[in-house]
Amino acid sequence: MPVYIDISENKVLGPAFKKGELTVIRRLIEKRFGPIPAWAEERLVGRSTNELEDLSVRVLDAQSIEDMLK
């Protein structure tokens, strides 16, 4: 029987994992839309790792940062 472990829930590894997710999504946003405004940065930091993963896909189809963060 497989064991499922969500690394984002780990007290030690979770914050580092989220930091990595944030780095990736920031790079994608900056490549697509340019510099990230402060309001968008605040919204990104408040997201869970699962939400950040979803945003990494949404950035591909979004027409703007506002559209992506709805």
Give 53-64 pLDDT, tens digit per residue.
Answer: 899 999 999 999
> Cα separation of 16 and 28, whole Å?
19
Q: Which of 52, 60, 55 is closest to 33 using CA atoms?
A: 60
Model pLDDT for residues 14-62, shown as the tens digit of each residue: 787 788 889 999 999 999 999 999 999 999 999 988 899 899 999 999 9
Model pLDDT for residues 6-15, shown as the tens digit of each residue: 777 777 777 8
- Which three-class secondary structure state does DSSP give residue 69? coil
9's tokens: 């829930």
Amino acid code (one letter) for 21: E
Global pTM exceeds 0.85: no
Distances (CA, A) of 32 to 9, 51, 58, 61, 65: 30, 19, 12, 10, 9
pLDDT for 3? 66
